[in-house]
Amino acid sequence: MRNSWLRGSCIGRGAYGTVNAAVDAATGDIFAVKSVNLATASPSQVEALESEIAVLRSLSSPFVVKYLGDDTTSEGSSQFRNLHMEYLPAGTAADLPDRSEAAVASYAWCLVAALSYLHSRGIVHCDVKGKNVLLGPSPGTAALADFGSAVEVDFGSSTSAAAAARGSPLWMAPEAIRGERQGTEADVWSVGCTVIEMLTGKPAWGGSVWRIGYSDEVPLFPARISGAGADFLEKCLRRDYARRWSCDQLLQHPFLAVGARREVADHWSPRCVLDCLNSDFHEEEEEEYDGEIVNLEGSERIRGLVTAAGENWESDGGWVVVRGQSEGGDGGGGTCSEYSDLIEDKTSSSSSSTNLDFEFHTCINSNSNFEFDCNVCLKILKRLCDCISNYGFVHDCLHINWNSTNFMSTEFISAPLVLH
């Protein structure tokens, strides 16, 4: 478990928690942290995060976002449950820079490889879509993320599928929309929808959830798709789930031949902390559903799906130091305390700074000179300032003397930097 880490800018906020960029205070490593506020979260939100932690902890695949740990922290009067994950800021498959068929086939191969691995372990993702496929460090590489809707199924049972509809309606399989089942075959349907999304830049369906569940239609294929691509989609988007190909079969399909030659890097870290601020991973509105509407019919089921609480993805500024259990936290986790004016917001800051008193042997004097007696603070601040310098933000800034451990600053970044 990390003893101390910085909570950075918000890179995603959805129905099941908030995702922030974060920095390990001891090593400077950057990661992503998904959190729920235990004081305000619903039981289903907490359950979803705990389930995601349990699932990711059990997985090890280059095609699945890496689990890096979890903890519970106290921040002010609230406690937060946190999942630490690999940070991949290159964007998602919903916003590809290259929508050529060859590029899409490479990302699709990574996605199908991830699902093949999950299905072999009895796990159904239940929310496959472009925004849950994070782009890797090399062109054509990707990792599957967001396991808040994932379920484990017993392939030895007669059902071998989730009973309740989960995920995002426009990517759900017909049988999932109808509340009949949501097994591995439903993930395959979602792969087909996601490939169309990657090729066209928009969802495979225009918005009619009823058509997905209760018509005989399949999504329109892109006009310029190759024969191999069209055949791949046909294998995924068969309305009879029993006739869809498995992910193991799809990996052998000619459409994925280009992707099969790609290699996913084992490890990657962004150049610096400010990559977090420039990430394209700022989600937009979308609907997500995780509830039981199995007994509803037709229009009632559709109403239940499309009126479910949607995600509200936003971007926040600010950095928060979160200290782990070994630094004095009680019970289940660490502590967090906030000092909001260390580096002020560019829209409202002046050349003076508010006096602060750091909890870990650190102080500030009336002349805005920050005097440090803590190597962790020094290391983090130096890394942040190096990054700021690299990005050309040093204008009204900087008198830094690391030897005498004095730091003086005024405004030099558009988002506030907060140390706790």
Residues 104 and 242 in one domain: yes
377 pLDDT more than 70: no
DSSP conformation letters of 247-279: HHHHTTSGGGTTGGG----S----SSTHHHHT-
Position 154 confidence tier, pLDDT thresholds 50, 70, 90: confident
Residues 123 and 247 in one domain: yes
Residue 23 forms part of a structural domain: no
Among 73-82, 183-192, 403-412, which is the least confidently predicted range?
Answer: 403-412
* Number of domain units in the chain: 2
Q: CA-to-CA distance for 239 and 245, rounded, in angstroms?
A: 12
Q: Is the pTM of this model over 0.85?
A: no
Cα 10 to Cα 22, 225, 294, distances in angstroms: 9, 37, 35
Residues 261 and 361 in one domain: no
pLDDT tens by residue, 10-49: 988 877 789 999 999 999 999 999 999 999 999 999 999 9
100 pLDDT more than 80: yes
Residues 122 and 246 in one domain: yes
16 or 333, greater pLDDT: 16
Number of neighbours of residue 269 by Cβ within 10 angstroms: 13
pLDDT tens by residue, 266-316: 334 443 433 444 343 333 334 444 443 334 455 555 555 555 544 433 333
Residue 313 forms part of a structural domain: no
Q: Which of 70, 71, 127, 146 is an active site residue?
A: 127
Residue 185 forms part of a structural domain: yes
Residue 238 forms part of a structural domain: yes
Q: Is 239 helix (H, G, I), strand (E, B) or coil?
A: coil
- Quote the mean pLDDT of the chain: 72
121-144 burial: b if 16+ Cβ within 10 Å, else e: eebbbbbbbbbbbbbbeeebbbbb
Q: CA-to-CA distance for 280 and 21, rounded, in angstroms?
A: 12
Helices and strands: H and E segment counts in the chain: 10, 22
User: DSSP letter at 77?
Assistant: T
Question: Could you give the percent of the chain with pLDDT greater than 70?
Answer: 59
Q: Which of 266, 283, 318 is the last residue of a domain?
A: 266
Q: What is the per-residue pLDDT for 320?
A: 59
Residue 37 forms part of a structural domain: no
Q: What is the per-residue pLDDT for 158?
A: 46
User: DSSP letter at 367?
Assistant: T
Residue 62 forms part of a structural domain: no
112 pLDDT more than 60: yes
Position 83 confidence tier, pLDDT thresholds 50, 70, 90: very high
Q: CA-to-CA distance for 136 and 268, rounded, in angstroms?
A: 8
Q: What is the per-residue pLDDT for 368?
A: 37
Angle among Cα 168, 174, 177 to the nearest 5 degrees reads: 50
Residues 131 and 222 in one domain: yes
Residue 54 forms part of a structural domain: no
Residues 97 and 208 in one domain: yes
Residues 106 and 255 in one domain: yes
Q: Which of 92, 139, 114 is nearest to 286 (CA)?
A: 92
Q: CA-to-CA distance for 417 and 319, rounded, in angstroms?
A: 5
Give the alpha-carbon dihedral of 245, 248, 250, 254, to 10 degrees: -140
Terminal-residue alpha carbon distance, the chain: 19
Question: How far is residue 171 CA from its own chain's centroid?
Answer: 18
Copy the structure tokens of residue 295: 């007994």
Q: CA-to-CA distance for 78 and 84, rounded, in angstroms?
A: 19
Instruction: Please tell me the total number of residues recorded for the chain in this structure.
Output: 420
Q: Which of 245, 266, 287 is the last residue of a domain?
A: 266
pLDDT tens by residue, 204-235: 998 788 999 999 999 999 999 999 999 999 99
Average pLDDT over residues 41-68: 96
Highest mean pLDDT among 107-111, 355-359, 377-381: 107-111
Residue 52 forms part of a structural domain: no
Largest CA distance in the chain: 73
Q: Which of 300, 279, 271, 220 is nearest to 383 (CA)?
A: 271
Residues 361 and 221 in one domain: no
123 pLDDT more than 70: yes
Position 354 confidence tier, pLDDT thresholds 50, 70, 90: very low
Q: Which residue has the tokens 């009895």?
A: 122
6 pLDDT more than 60: yes
Torsion angles phi and psi, residue 32, rounded to 5:
-110, 145
Q: What is the per-residue pLDDT for 94?
A: 96
Residue 127 falls in the annotated catalytic set: yes
- Is 211 buried (19+), middle (13-18) or exposed (0-12) by CB count in 10 A? middle
Q: CA-to-CA distance for 32 and 269, rounded, in angstroms?
A: 11
DSSP conformation letters of 101-154: HHHHHHHHHHHHHHHHHHHHTTEE----SGGGEEE-SSTT-EEE---TT-EE--
Q: What is the per-residue pLDDT for 297?
A: 56
Long-range contacts from 346-355, C-beta under 8 angstroms, 24+ separation: 346/411, 346/412, 346/413, 346/414, 349/410, 349/411, 350/410, 350/411, 351/396, 351/410, 353/409, 353/410
Residues 103 and 242 in one domain: yes
- The CATH code of the domain that includes 218 is 1.10.510.10
Position 400 confidence tier, pLDDT thresholds 50, 70, 90: very low
Tell me: is residue 34 an annotated ligand-binding position: yes
Q: Which of 280, 269, 265 is nearest to 387 (CA)?
A: 269
**Cβ atoms 213, 178 nearer than 8 A:** yes
Number of neighbours of residue 22 by Cβ within 10 angstroms: 28
258 pLDDT more than 70: no
Residues 130 and 259 in one domain: yes
Residues 110 and 209 in one domain: yes
Q: Which of 237, 266, 295 is the last residue of a domain?
A: 266
Residue 378: domain span: 347-412
Residues 249 and 358 in one domain: no
Number of neighbours of residue 402 by Cβ within 10 angstroms: 12
pLDDT tens by residue, 65-78: 999 999 999 888 88
